[in-house]
Amino acid sequence: MLKRQIHRADEPVDRSGMICSGEQSVAFFPLGKDQLKLVREITHSLQKDRTIGLLLSNESIRTGDLPQAKDDKVLHKEIPEHWHYRERLGSAPRIIILGAGHVGLALSRTMNQLGFHVHLMDDRVGLNTKEVNTWAHESSVVDYEQIGDVIAADPELYVVLVSFGYRTDDLLVRQLVRQRFKYLGMMGSAEKIKKILVDMRKDGFSEEELGRIRTPIGLPINSKTPEEIAVSIAAEVISVKNRA
pTM: 0.76
Beta-carbon contacts of residue 7 (< 8 Å; ≥ 6 apart) = 15, 16, 18, 19, 20, 21, 22, 23
Residue 131 and residue 142 in contact, taking contact as beta carbons nearer than 8 Å:
no
Helix (DSSP H) and strand (DSSP E) numbers for the chain: 8, 12
**Distance in angstroms between the alpha carbons of the first and the last residue of the chain:** 29
**What's the pLDDT score for residue 244?**
52
**What's the pLDDT score for residue 202?**
96
Task: Determine the Cα–Cα distance for residues 195 and 191; give it in Å rounded to an integer.
Answer: 6
Give the tens place of pLDDT for each residue, 194-204: 999 999 999 99
**What's the pLDDT score for residue 149?**
94
Of 125, 175, 85, 2, nearest in space to 186 by CA = 175
Q: Residues in the chain with pLDDT < 50?
A: none
Q: Which domains, and CATH codes, for the chain?
A: 1-30 (no CATH), 32-91 (no CATH), 94-241 (3.40.50.720)
Task: Determine the Cα–Cα distance for residues 37 and 29; give it in Å rounded to an integer.
Answer: 15
Task: Determine the Cα–Cα distance for residues 14 and 147; give it in Å rounded to an integer.
Answer: 54
